[in-house]
């Protein structure tokens, strides 16, 4: 498999990570009894790599640990998982854009040893999405915006391997002639995309919904908000509604690998694309070295 790399993270019987072992991505590595495959019982992070530099690395590891806590998985050892990411990033250093996925799962059913691995490869070409924009539809997630507080066992806001619903939502978007989705809570608040964070521009302010609504804290959104003053903008975290999206001056779905994709239509209604700010955002995200 061209430009694909794999490392396995070994664990002891108490769930502690003990080391990193290179592996062949073309060979079978996972037991058919592993709960990663049979139940989706695990967590993951996808980290953008720019010319060998893992981007938003500390934030991804922090979110990785947060998701593991929510699933009662062992705490990911930062040193060992850092070794895994850096080993893969070094092998991808000849590429301007690549990505690494790290996975921690509960392991083979009936045993007490977790399964862990990291996989890295070259990123797709997202120039069209970053410049021309994407078409999205609003889909009801079927959960209230307070679900994280009222029903923590639903794992709202954890980045788990259980992605069947997100994939189904993307297929529904395609059936409707769109590229992507923005989820809406059953009580009418905008949430996130299946693999991305919503950001809107309202005048000179960038705004994104709060993680307390049961959405994944966005590492890319955080970096963009920290850079907002470079573009003469301020930033805020606050609840947003479909009406607020419709009246926004511009909007994006932002994520680690695709970066900032402007919304060119919502539910079939065309909207303006802020090409200048989109280019500035994506240039900033590609240049990150932290």
Residues 104 and 172 in one domain: no
Range(s) of the domain holding residue 14: 5-122
User: Is the domain of 68 the same as that of 158?
Assistant: no
Q: Are strands 259-266 and 5-11 parallel, antiparallel or unpaired?
A: unpaired
Domain match, 114 and 203 both: no
DSSP code of residue 143: S
Same domain, 153 and 280: yes
Please say which residue of 73, 91, 122 terminates a domain.
122
The Cα 255–Cα 247 span in angstroms is 23
Instruction: Give the residue from 122, 140, 174 where a domain finishes.
Output: 122
Give the end of a domain, one of 82, 104, 122: 122
Closest listed residue to residue 230, CA positions, set 280, 185, 273, 191? 280
Regarding whether 31 and 15 lie in a shared domain, the answer is yes
Total domains in the chain come to 2
pLDDT of residue 289: 73
Q: Is the dihedral of CA 58, 102, 98, 206 positive or negative?
A: negative
pLDDT computed for residue 2 by the predictor? 67
DSSP letter string, 168-193: HHHHHHHHTT-SEEEEE-TTS-B--B
Low-confidence residues of the chain: pLDDT under 70: 1-2
Same domain (yes/no): 216, 230:
yes
Tally helices (H) and strands (E) across the chain: 9, 14
Query: CB-based burial of residue 157 (10 Å sphere; 0-12 exposed, 13-18 middle, 19+ buried)?
Result: buried
- pLDDT of 223 reads 97
Q: Looking at residue 74, which CATH number applies to its domain? A: 3.30.470.10
Whether 143 and 281 map to the same domain: the answer is yes
Q: Which pLDDT score is estimated for 13?
A: 86
Q: Do 118 and 255 fall into the same domain?
A: no
- Same domain? 54 vs 157: no
Q: Count how many residues are written for the chain.
A: 290
Both tokens of residue 279? 């280019």
Q: Domain check: are 255 and 114 in the same one?
A: no
Q: Do 132 and 150 share a domain, yes or no?
A: yes
Residues 147 and 267 in one domain: yes
């Amino acid at each position: 498999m061209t430009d694909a790399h794999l490392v396995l993270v070994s664990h002891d019987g108490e769930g502690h990570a003990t080391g990193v072992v290179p592996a062949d991505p073309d060979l079978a590595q996972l037991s058919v009894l592993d709960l990663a495959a049979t139940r989706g019982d695990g967590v993951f992070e996808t980290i953008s790599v720019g010319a060998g530099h893992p981007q938003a690395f500390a934030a991804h590891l922090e979110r990785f640990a947060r998701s593991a806590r929510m699933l009662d998985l062992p705490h990911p050892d930062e040193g060992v998982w850092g070794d895994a990411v850096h080993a893969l990033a070094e092998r991808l250093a000849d590429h301007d854009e690549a990505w690494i996925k790290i996975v921690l799962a509960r392991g083979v059913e009936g045993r007490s040893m977790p399964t862990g691995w990291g996989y890295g490869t070259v990123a797709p070409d997202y120039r069209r999405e970053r410049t021309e924009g994407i078409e999205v539809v609003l889909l009801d997630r079927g959960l209230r915006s307070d679900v994280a507080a009222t029903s923590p066992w639903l794992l709202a806001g954890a980045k788990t391997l259980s992605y069947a619903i997100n994939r189904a939502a993307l297929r529904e978007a395609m059936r409707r002639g769109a590229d992507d989705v923005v989820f809406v809570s059953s009580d009418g608040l905008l949430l996130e995309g299946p693999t991305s964070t919503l950001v809107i521009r309202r005048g000179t302010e960038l705004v994104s919904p709060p993680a307390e609504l049961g959405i994944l804290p966005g590492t890319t959104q955080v970096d963009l908000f920290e850079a907002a003053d470079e573009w003469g903008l301020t930033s805020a975290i606050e609840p947003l509604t479909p009406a607020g999206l419709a009246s926004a001056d511009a909007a994006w779905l932002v994520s680690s690998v695709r970066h900032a994709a402007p919304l060119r239509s919502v539910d079939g209604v065309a909207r303006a694309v802020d090409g200048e700010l989109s280019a500035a955002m994506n240039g900033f995200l590609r240049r990150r070295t932290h």
